[in-house]
Structure 1
């Protein structure tokens, strides 16, 4: 008699899957497909093994795979009702070897909420520690590469530079052109109330050169290239290509991460400058068509109102943002585990965290340079 698997949706509490009968290799195809039928979602999963009569290593692997899938997606998964023998086998086959979580025996929703918050804090701490270790490794290898103690793979740098920079010229140019147009239009509408439309050029020049041009370019690169880095390296890890590199004596940091970090940092310089120019062209087109300001007068006015410090500050921020984007993408790619679903999860995390950190650093730069008198 085969195993029986029933899913129950308990509403506000955890989704429950009740298993009965034997969980052995004879039924592996049946129960593996049935266990994968429910996508991970809030608030979590409870696995009821109280009616399981027998289990072997194939069954234990299937249970561990189900729990790992939910936990990787960020949702708690617990065992309930497992006999001591079944519990020992599942724990022994966990990857990495560790006790499988058991659902707290409480009906108090406050305790359950606190447990979820604690699990999230632990996951955040582990993620932060792993990122700091990865950052240290990357800086060591990057430093050794820059001083000539390690060979720089120029072919990889050029290839990544083409993917990050050249292939992004169209979308970034169009985006920043439209942003310059919108900033000019909205600025003119507001300044017209005070008869100060001439200062629209000041708004366009300083906003796009120092802040918006750099920041929006970084966000676009994070969406294009940061996600690509995470997906590419994550797929390589799933296919065991990362392990193959280590087996033949190559450092994945030097082969995969450093070329992407260098290429992204350098390309962000060019893209930031290019995006800023496109934004100024968009603003100039509006000033010419709506404010009757000739292109020559517009360029002259830009030279008067944009200090050199704004351009320098923007060019300082650009490679820093590129470094952050590449680092986040590569880190999350190397954290991929389990299955293809993890690639999607880590790719999303790479983009979100890269954009968040870029905005945080942009705010830091704004306060830092303002404190130095560059307002």
Structure 2
């Protein structure tokens, strides 16, 4: 049962704030305020001065309001140590990683006719792939990606049991590809939460499982996602061999799918990070060839590349290469397209960085303010990291009060996923 912070909620209401108004004043998502008051999360240290100011209390008094009030019937003995902030999320994380270790072992074992009889494997073989497609769709449509984690964790447990029941090599291969699919989604959830090492572990298992299942496209996608972690950590040289391997694997895959074009798009980002504009342009041109494929070139799950992101990816590459003239057209055109909240925030962050290049404060403020609002709605670590990148470039413009306010608001963003 979640612990409650009734006094915290009462104080907020007494100050005349609804949960929505309080969230807006703090530039966080309403769900974040709900989690604070429900005892499922705790405000970060950098957020507390402003919270105390809004509530009209001192920081010491705020600490008292944040004491979690447990119902009497479930009260724990006084000598029981309290849970610290993040313990619940950390236990969930360890739970998923524990399943990863078990599943990884099962993937390497051959099918056995002595496996225990059960209905889990049969049910997975009948409905598992459709369920995974639905989970990817839910992930794509959700503003806050972490809402998908409980369903993914549950399905990982089911897959672990199903793998243990596999009796034929054909069944084992199909279950391995389902494992690769689901662990790529788990990796995306960890990546969105800025847990890159955990994401890399998921992608490594996904690659091994895809190889065991004999699916080269799925294997190449897992390798490409792993490489993207290195790119995001600004380690392009470490990403290059992963992408080279992914490209080679993708060429063995289905030519009707967009896998090799997606690998090329990510390779373009690596070349841009290394300042190689000609190689970057060639890779982008290769990625553009995805438009020659028919409408069934992706599956909407682990393979979602259909070319619709190329404008924003091209703009980000040119921005990285120090070519704001080329980046502006691509990013502005990208913003005119229908975009998910996460993608729109990323493009807006890049346009704000472009404004810094051009010393155009109005452009910086306009785009950054919108991106900050979207970050508060999604609570995405990915968007937060993009805005942190913008924040690191604001120093030349900090004499303007609007820019210094942006700096404060980005610093105050919740990173709790």
TM norm structure 1: 0.30
TM norm structure 2: 0.27
**Structure of higher RCO (CA pairs closer than 8 Å, 6+ residues apart):** 1
